[in-house]
Amino acid sequence: MTESTTIRWDQDETGVVTLTLDDPHQSANTMNQAFKDSVAAVADRAEAERDTIRGIIVTSAKKTFFAGGDLKEMIRLRPGDAGLAFEAGTAIKRALRRIETLGKPVVAAINGAALGGGYEIALACHHRIALDAPGSRIGLPEVTLGLLPAGGGVTRTVRLMGITDALLKVLLQGTQYTPRRALENGLVHEVAATPEEMLARARAFIDAHPESRQPWDVKGYKIPGGTPASPRFAANLPAFPANLRKQLGGAPYPAPRNILAAAVEGSQVDFETAQTIEARYFAELVTGQTAKNMIQAFFFDLQAVNSGAGRPRGVESRPVRRVAVLGAGMMGAGIAYACAKAGIEVVLKDVSAEAAARGKGYAEKLLAKAVARGRTTEADRDALLARITPTADPAGLAGCDAVIEAVFEDPALKHKVFQEIQGIVAPDALLCSNTSTLPITLLAEGVARPADFIGLHFFSPVDKMPLVEIIKGERTGDEALARAFDLVRQIRKTPIVVNDSRGFFTSRVIGQFINEGVALVGEGVEPASVEQAAAQAGYPAKVLSLMDELTLTLPRKIRDETRRAVEEAGGSWPEHPADAVIDRMVDEFGRPGRGGGGGFYEYAEDGTRLRLWPGLRTHFAREGAEVPFEDMKERMLFAEALDSVRCLEEGVLTSVADANIGSIMGIGFPAWTGGVLQYINGYEGGPAGFTARAHELAERYGERFRPPALLVAKAERGETFHD
Ligand code: NAI
């Protein structure tokens, strides 16, 4: 018998055993070797001492219940390691199964987050009670890392709630539920308000169910909702893969497909065989490239970004208490809401009291919806709204320790509003602009303290978009950068830090994606195919419809201004084949986009998108060779990846993690790639394979695909992009 080192065994005089997960060497419990050995040891002991045991409570001494699998270990697995990956989970699954089938009641007292492996441990228990702890989350988010829950998660959720609910509520989206919502959706049986109540209820369950078993271990158990073996279910079965394909738009995500297969196949066989099927599909995923990409981005890169790698060290943090938001339009209103939600007092200023009040109205609307859906309480809504003070009077900004400006995109106006408030806000207030295109260095010229001036680029809609791009101007000081970083974290968003440059990182790189889509139209490619290529590459947005949303005139204006600036500085500005298409759309056909009555699409009076404008097919007729579908997809992906390398080369980007996270969270670069630079790492043949393909695209479609020197050097040295 091995000894249990990470699970404490305490048996009281009534025969109730409390198993406390408590890794002595780590701040959280993870699925490491010591833990695997401990579960086996606990199963041995439970079987040996079975007659003295009345029931078992599983809980944890850490803040979280259990943190999950060892991702560092997983990311190292190669395609040849599938056998190893298959075997890895077998021992622990067998041990959990032995405890589950001991014939004694087993209760999970979930004291904190139970995601992935943590919830799988809870699923192996007969009864699950979650503590209503703030921030606690329950679910199986493996799919968001390109994986599936292989600790019995697929097998047990299918048996617990039926194939359809298991797929839709738990497995395919990887939803993370609060304890209350986990209860509503059948993931747990009870929610307790205090740890004492949780443990008392666990004991009550044991008292009431001396011979508890899992429902699926009772003879004659049927999976709720049926299985493919029943004719009614079988009739609906083909709809599953079809819906999945529709949802994914043909993008290359293998995890949902494997999850579906594991759930359906596993429902038709006995429990043990189902676990084997689950393990086989997992092994295929964990040794593949997509899971590696997603783990790299969502776990390691996101952690690096959030932990403050880009924040200057040694600057003391001081939370913002009162922020001035200048401009209560679409962005200002969203920013005000996000700040108030994080507990910051907001003074929301616009030119008139009515305009400012309208901005606050946006928060009111969002909160009304949240109350209706039970996501917030009326008291919390009132408290949040009370923190937003709309005003037209600059005097109201007294005492603000940070300013976020979001007035019209006009440098003279932006200078003017900063002039107006400089003497009113706190003398050392942090000064931020939410400009999406104007150079921060230029805007800083208009303020008395340029060292305190910085770009804070939010994305629309602010309440939903998790990223904020922080832009350092030439004169921005370290103190301002650190404070801006802290402010973004304070409002619970993810910061990336870039240096000032036209379009910064995000707008510049997404522009390459859009230009590529537009260029394809110019080459006479069927517009619907262009949209389809973007979807199949994994982009969440249709490229031509995105262009219409932005309006064609805005990028044109930026393009012309940039060209002028570059040429004035003695440089040359390369033509892009999209330029001519945009010019013709605006000048010749009068189609500047959605707001202007139509662009690549036609719209109804109320703005609903109707169909692609038929004129595209007549005015941009195909000449010359066909563009293969694969080339269309790769042209979009490569255009963004190559420009990101240039951003790194030029020092606009200073970290690979920022590029990967910024591209996925800010501008919809496909998540399966792990981000713009990880896409190059993971491309077949790595950076060398990517470089060779870029040369090929350059020969066929133009010099914009020629790989930059930094990429060529990496490829030659056999290096990947990493920090
Ligand atoms: P908007 O047009 O919705 O709002 C601008 C607001 O500023 C209006 O309410 C206007 O009354 C107000 N304003 C004008 N002069 C003012 C003054 N002197 N004092 C106070 N308020 C004044 O514009 P939106 O879309 O909110 O954009 C604002 C800024 O955010 C722009 O710089 C824009 O480039 C940037 N941005 C926009 C994004 C977008 O998706 N719309 C994304 C990221 C940044």
Mean local confidence (pLDDT), 491-516? 95
Band the pLDDT of 85: cuts 50, 70, 90: confident
d(CA 414, CA 392): 16
Q: 630-633 long-range CB contacts below 8 Å, 24 or more apart?
A: 631/697, 631/700, 631/701, 632/520, 632/525, 632/529, 632/530, 632/533, 633/533, 633/534, 633/536, 633/537
Its sign, for the CA torsion 296, 297, 299, 304, is positive
State residue 624's pLDDT score.
66
Q: Distance (Å, rounded) from C-alpha 37 to C-alpha 713?
A: 46
DSSP string covering 215-256, please? GGGSTT---TT--TTSHHHHHHTTHHHHHHHHHHTT---HHH
What average pLDDT score do residues 703-713 get?
97
Cα 309 from Cα 453, distance rounded (Å): 21
- Is residue 134 scored above 90 in pLDDT? no
Q: Which helix (H) or strand (E) holds 191?
A: strand 190-192
- Mean predicted confidence (pLDDT) in 246-267: 90
Residue 405 annotated to the active site? no
Distance CA 304, CA 658 (A): 9
Give mean pLDDT, residues 628-635.
97
443 pocket-lining for ligand 1 (C-beta < 6 Å): no
458 CB near ligand 1 (under 6 Å):
yes
Which residues are within 8 A (CB) of 562 and not within 5 positions of it... i.e. 6 or more apart? 502, 573
Cα–Cα distance for residue pair 166/501, rounded to 1 Å: 47
> Is the pLDDT score of 249 beyond 80?
no
pLDDT at 91: 83
Query: Quick check: 56 pLDDT over 80?
Result: yes
pLDDT band at 144 (very low <50, low <70, confident <90, very high): very high
* Average pLDDT estimate for 347-351: 98
Cα of 335 vs centre of ligand 1, distance in Å, is 11
State which ligand 1 atom lies nearest to the alpha carbon of 409.
32
In angstroms, rounded to a whole number, what is the distance separating the alpha carbons of residues 453 and 203?
Answer: 59
Q: What is the mean pLDDT of the chain?
A: 94
- CA-based nearest residue to 504, from 458, 470, 550: 470
In 327-445, which ranges are E strands? 345-349, 388-391, 402-405, 430-433
Amino acid at 364: E
Q: How confident is the model at residue 135 (pLDDT cuts 50, 70, 90)?
A: confident
Per-residue pLDDT band at 600 (split at 50, 70, 90):
very high
Asked if 721 and 300 count as a contact pair (C-beta separation under 8 A), the reply is no
* Atom in ligand 1 nearest the alpha carbon of residue 460: 40
Q: Is the CB of 371 under 6 A from ligand 1?
A: no
Query: Considering only CA atoms, which of 166, 169, 150, 168 is closest in space to residue 274?
Result: 150
- Please tell me the residue having the least CA distance from ligand 1 atom 4: 329
**Ligand 1 center–CA 387 separation, angstroms:** 21
Which residue in this structure is represented by tokens 């043990």? 272
How many A from CA of 434 to the centre of ligand 1? 9
Cβ(131)–Cβ(198) below 8 Å: yes
Q: How far is the centre of ligand 1, averaged over its atoms, from the C-alpha of 410 (Å)?
A: 9
What distance in angstroms lies between residue 418's CA and the mean position of ligand 1's atoms?
14
Catalytic residue among 142, 190, 278, 640: 142
pLDDT of residue 388: 98
Percent of the residues in the chain that have a pLDDT greater than 90, as a whole number:
83
- 83-87, 273-277, 324-328, range with the lowest pLDDT: 83-87
CB atoms within 10 A of CB 492: 10
Which DSSP state fits 392? S
How many angstroms separate the CA atoms of 180 and 164, rounded? 21
Q: Give residue-wise pLDDT tens across range 649-679.
A: 999 999 999 999 999 999 999 999 999 999 9
In testing the pocket of ligand 1, which one of 408, 418, 467 has its CB within 8 Å of the most ligand atoms?
A: 408
Q: Which residues pair with 11 in a beta bridge?
A: 17
The CA angle 509-515-519, to the nearest 5 degrees, is 150
Query: Which tokens in the block code for residue 426?
Result: 């706190």
The tokens of 104 are what?
């004694």
Separation between Cα atoms, residue 34 and residue 11, nearest integer Å? 22
Q: What is the pLDDT of residue 597?
A: 86
Q: For the chain, give the number of residues.
A: 723
Nearest CA to ligand 1 atom 39: 460
142 flagged as catalytic? yes
Q: Phi, psi (5° rounding) for residue 279? A: -65, -35
Integer Cα distance of 237 and 239 in angstroms:
5
pLDDT digits (tens, 9 = 90+) for 273-306: 999 999 999 999 999 999 999 999 998 999 999 9
- Which of 49, 50, 38 is closest to 2 using CA atoms? 38
Task: Write down the pLDDT at residue 247.
Answer: 79
- Predicted pLDDT of residue 463: 95
What pLDDT score does 233 carry? 79
pLDDT band at 71 (very low <50, low <70, confident <90, very high): confident
- Which residue would you say has higher pLDDT here, 566 or 53? 53
pLDDT at site 414: 97
Q: CA-CA distance, 402 to 487, in Å (whole number)?
A: 9
Statement: residue 1 has pLDDT above 70: no
608 lines ligand 1 (CB under 6 A): no
- The single-letter DSSP state of residue 312 is P
616 lines ligand 1 (CB under 6 A): no
Confidence of residue 33 (pLDDT cuts 50, 70, 90): confident
Separation of CA 399 and ligand 1 centre (Å): 23
Instruction: Return the structure tokens found at 544.
Output: 């031509």
- What tokens were used for 657? 């993690």
Catalytic residue among 100, 120, 602, 640: 120
pLDDT at 462: 97
Please determine, for residue 407, whether its predicted confidence score (pLDDT) is greater than 70.
Answer: yes
Q: What is the 3-state secondary structure (H, E, C) of 419-486?
A: HHHHCCCCCCCEEEECCCCCCHHHHHCCCCCHHHEEEEEECCCCCCCCEEEEEECCCCCHHHHHHHHH
351 Cβ closer than 6 Å to some ligand 1 atom: yes
pLDDT tens, position by position, 689-704 = 999 999 999 999 999 9
> To which H or E segment does residue 536 belong?
helix 527-537
